[in-house]
Amino acid sequence: MRAKQDVKPIGTFSWLPILVHGDAAFAGQGVVVETLQMSQLRGYRTGGTIHVVVNNQVGFTTVPQDARSSVYATDVAKTIQAPIFHVNGDDPESVVHVAQLAFEYRERFHRDVVVDLVCYRRRGHNEGDDPSMTQPLMTDLIQAKRSVRRLYTESLVGRGDITEEEYEEAKRDFQDRLEVAFAETHAAETGATPIAPESTPAVELEGTPETTAVSQQVIELIGDAFVNKPEGFTVHSKIQQLLDKRLDMSRNGNIDWGFGELLAFGSLLVEGTPVRLAGQDSRRGTFVQRHAVLHDRANGQEWLPLANLSENQGRFWVYDSLLSEYAAMAFEYGYSVEATNALVLWEAQFGDFANGAQSVIDEYISSAEQKWGQHSAVTLLLPTATRVRVPTTPPRASSVSCSCARRTT
Ligand SMILES: Cc1ncc(C[n+]2csc(CCOP(=O)(O)OP(=O)(O)O)c2C)c(N)n1
Ligand SMILES: [Mg+2]
């Protein structure tokens, strides 16, 4: 936008920047605040951006209570005194009204303005999701709701503004336009070739150290924990099968990745080592693979099987983080420096998002020992990592690990 405006007479601001955000991203990602801070600086200003926050009250599987400390997702915009309009997404006419106000404000004052479009997510997240597992009560409410289109049609027809026939015609017309756009986009696809990931040389391990083995009883204890549900707890129908499978794996082997990881955590817990894991959607797991926390389908109550292994076990903490990499990884680094007896894990949603915290890796994880003699055993879980740059040259570098299955048999 700024580049476009710089070829026009100074101060005309004839291009209108519109940024669309998610609620979790707007509250969590530091770059949002950095960009807001730029908005009035002479080197960066664009004459006001209209920010539309599509606030569906959830970030993938993460609830607002885990995603921000502020009341509103949009509160960071208060730092630049931007007007913030909170509007009900179920009420299209109010949305249009607010959009007009935001536009007029931008045109008059050439400053940023925010529209917080409060709505909900009907169909789960695009990366493989069943929200009834993590937000059972909210899902039930949403399922029982009529769609925005239905509600608005009813009110238009009820008011006599349009007839049912006119509605059907408008719907057909709109769908035709979507079809045309879809066909055109499809035809325009260039078929770009994906970049093949570079193959990484295999790391030679010198056998499995004897000391990391655990007994069959410990494996069984962990398997049992996933079926010993609290009294009256209603397990989600799709998850029960997985829990039974975990019991079976603990007896008969064929252990999958998800359970292998839980065995690693669980066996450390049994030995008295605390385990802390934080990351985006880590409680359920990005790939619906972990289920370290289960939600009662009927009342939403939580159950953490690994917190109920034995009397004297270590404490188990697992958190969905805010939508941050930089601050979130740095926090776990600091935590691990202090909690030397704990297994402290930060999990990237996908491995390459760790790049957003690359300076934490460079400045602390891989070099703090050399710089300050400061040790950390923070463990980074980087699923599907292909492009994370972990420096290999600094002396005695790197407690960075791409795997967490430290103690499975
Ligand atoms: C920098 C970065 N970190 C993590 C992700 C993974 N991720 C994709 S969507 C999502 C949740 C987004 O929530 P929100 O901002 O509320 O948008 P919504 O999907 O609800 O519209 C996350 C964590 C990402 N895409 N980019
Ligand atoms: Mg959201």
**Structure tokens given for 35:** 């960009």
Q: Is 22 in the pocket of ligand 1 (CB under 6 A)?
A: yes
Residue minimizing CA distance to atom 22 of ligand 1: 60
Distances (CA, A) of 220 to 21, 217, 224, 226, 383: 45, 5, 6, 10, 27
How high does pLDDT run on average in the chain? 89
Distance separating alpha carbons of residues 193 and 309, to the nearest angstrom: 49
Of the two residues 208 and 116, the one the predictor is more confident about is 116
Q: Is 333 in the pocket of ligand 1 (CB under 6 A)?
A: no
Distance separating alpha carbons of residues 24 and 76, to the nearest angstrom: 12
Q: Is 356 in the pocket of ligand 1 (CB under 6 A)?
A: yes
Using one digit for the tens of pLDDT, what is the confidence trace for 340-370?
999 999 999 999 999 999 999 999 999 999 9
pTM comes to 0.75
Which of 121, 349, 352 for mutating ligand 1's site (highest number of atoms within 8 Å of CB)?
349
What backbone torsions phi and psi does residue 116 show, to the nearest 5 degrees?
Answer: -100, 100
CB 36 within 8 A of CB 112: yes
Predicted pLDDT of residue 199: 52
Predicted pLDDT of residue 209: 67
Q: Is 351 in the pocket of ligand 1 (CB under 6 A)?
A: no
Give the atom of ligand 1 at the shortest distance from the alpha carbon of 21. Answer: 15
Angle (CA) 309 312 314, round 5°:
75
Q: How confident is the model at residue 258 (pLDDT cuts 50, 70, 90)?
A: very high
Q: Is 326 in the pocket of ligand 1 (CB under 6 A)?
A: no
Sheet holding 18-22, edge to edge: 18-22, 50-55, 113-118, 84-88
Predicted pLDDT of residue 11: 82
- Interval 35-41 mean pLDDT: 93
Q: Is 323 in the pocket of ligand 1 (CB under 6 A)?
A: yes
Residue minimizing CA distance to atom 15 of ligand 1: 22
What's the gap in Å between 59 CA and the centre of ligand 1?
6
Please give the domain boundaries of the chain with CATH numbers for all domains.
Answer: 2-144 (3.40.50.970), 211-381 (3.40.50.12470)
**Structure tokens given for 54:** 């599509």
Using one digit for the tens of pLDDT, what is the confidence trace for 192-225?
544 544 554 555 666 666 677 899 999 999 999 9
DSSP 223: H
Q: Is 129 in the pocket of ligand 1 (CB under 6 A)?
A: no
Three-state secondary structure call for residue 91: coil
DSSP H/E element including 330: helix 326-338
What contacts 358, CB < 8 A, 6 or more positions away? 389
**Structure tokens given for 398:** 């790197």
Predicted pLDDT of residue 397: 35
Angle (CA) 289 253 204, round 5°:
80
Render the burial of 353-379: b for 16+ CB within 10 Å, e for the rest.
Answer: bbebbbebbeebbbbbbeeeeeebebb
- Interval 303-312 mean pLDDT: 96
Predicted pLDDT of residue 123: 85
Query: Among 324, 238, 276, 262, which Cα is nearest to 62's?
Result: 324
What's the gap in Å between 61 CA and the centre of ligand 2?
9
Q: Is 47 in the pocket of ligand 1 (CB under 6 A)?
A: no
Other Cβ atoms closer than 10 A to 245 = 16
Q: Is 353 in the pocket of ligand 1 (CB under 6 A)?
A: yes
Three-state secondary structure call for residue 266: helix
DSSP letters spanning 143-172: HTSPPHHHHHHHHHHHHTSS-HHHHHHHHH
Distance separating alpha carbons of residues 175 and 36, to the nearest angstrom: 37
Distance separating alpha carbons of residues 86 and 115, to the nearest angstrom: 6
DSSP H/E element including 344: strand 343-347
Residue minimizing CA distance to atom 4 of ligand 1: 349
State the SS3 of 359-394: HHHHHHHCCHHHHHCCCCCCEEECCCCCCCCCCCCC
Give the atom of ligand 1 at the shortest distance from the alpha carbon of 60. Answer: 11
What's the gap in Å between 67 CA and the centre of ligand 1?
11
